[in-house]
Structure 1
Amino acid sequence: MSITFNHTIIASKDREESARFYRELLEVAEAPSWGVFTNTQLDDGVLLQFAEPPVDEIQMQHYAFLVDDELFDRAYARIQEWKVDHWAGPRGDGPGTINHNHGGRGVYFKDPSGHGLEIITSPYF
C-alpha cells in the first residue's frame, strides 16, 4: 500500500464557521460529520475535521493548498470580497497583494480561528 494523507483536525473557535469558510473559499464538499467534528472533504478525499478544543487559546498552524489558476482567481476574489487581510509573503510583507513565486501565484491570509493559510498555483518543487 502506498502512503496517502487521510485527515487532519483543525482546532477552531467555531467549528461550523471554520468549516463553512474553507468550503466556500476552496469550493469543496461538506462531508458527513460526527461527534465533536464538523468535516469538509478535499477533492482527493482528504478530510479536514474542525473541532473546538477545550482551551482558551488556539495555537496557530499553517495550511497550504495547491489549486489551479481558475480556483485561485475565484478564491482570491472571495478573499477580497470578504475583506480578509492578506499578504504576498508569510511574514506579512506585501499587504493586499499576491506573489508570483515558483512560476505561479500565491497568497497568505488567516482563517476565522487565526490559522495561517496559503493558496498557491504552483508547488515549491
Structure 2
Amino acid sequence: MTIKLNHTIVRSRDQREAATFLAEMFDLPAPKPFGPFLDVELGNEVTLAFLDAAADDISAQHYAFLVSDAEFDAIFARIQTRGLDFWADPGRTQKRRINRHDGGRGVYFQDPSGHLLEIITQPYGSE
C-alpha cells in the first residue's frame, strides 16, 4: 500500500476567514463544512481542515505548496494585489523578494492566523 497524507487540521483564529483566504489565493473551490471543520480540498487529494481555536491554542505552522509556473504567477499576483507582505526565506529576512532555489521560484506569505504559506515551482533538492 502507498501511504499518502489525507488531511491535516489547521487551527485558526477564524476558520471561515482562513479557509476562504486559502481557497481564494490558490483559486480552489470554496471551503466545505464537515463537522466542526471547513475543508479546503487540494489537487492532490489532501484536505486542509480549518478549525476555530483560541489564539493561545494556535502555533504558527508552515505549509508548502508545489505549484506550476502559471499558478505561481497567478498566486503571486494575488499576493501583490492584496498588498500582503512576502519573503524569499522562512526566517522572513528577505522581504519583498522571491527565491530561485533549484531553478524554480519560491515565496513565503502569511495567512490571517499567522501560518507561513510557501509556494514553490520546483521541489527542494530537485536540481
Say whether the fold is shared (TM-score over 0.5).
Answer: yes
Task: Give yes or no for the alignment of 1:18 onto 2:23.
Answer: no
State the alpha-carbon separation in 2 of the partners of residues 102 and 41 from structure 1: 27
Query: Could you say which residue in structure 2 is the equivalent of 1:83?
Result: 83
CA distance in 2, matches of 1:90, 1:29: 27
What amino acid is the match of 2:28? V
Cα distance in 2, alignment partners of residues 22 and 12 from structure 1: 12
Q: Unaligned stretches of 5+ in structure 2? A: none
Identity of aligned residues (%): 47
Kindly provide the CA deviation profile for residues 56-101 of structure 1, in whole angstroms up to 9, marking residues without a partner as x. Answer: 3511110000000000000000001111111111111221111111
Question: Partner residue of 1:105?
Answer: 105
The total of aligned residue pairs comes to 125
Aligned to 1:5: 5
Are the counterparts in 1 of residues 13 and 55 from structure 2 also a CA contact under 8 Å?
Answer: no
Residue 55 of structure 1 deviates from its aligned partner by 5.2
Q: Which amino acid is the alignment partner of residue 5 of structure 1?
A: L
Structure 1 position 54, deviation (Å)? 4.3
Q: Does 1:48 align with 2:79?
A: no
| 1:4–1:93 distance in 2 versus 1, CA, 3 Å | same
Following superposition, which runs of at least 4 residues in structure 1 exceed 4 angstroms of deviation? Answer: none
What TM-score comes out, normalization by structure 2 length? 0.92
State the shift of 1:108 in Å.
Answer: 0.8
Which residue of the partner structure matches residue 115 of structure 1?
115
1:26-75: CA deviation from partner (whole Å, max 9, x where unpaired): 11223532221001000111111000124535111100000000000000
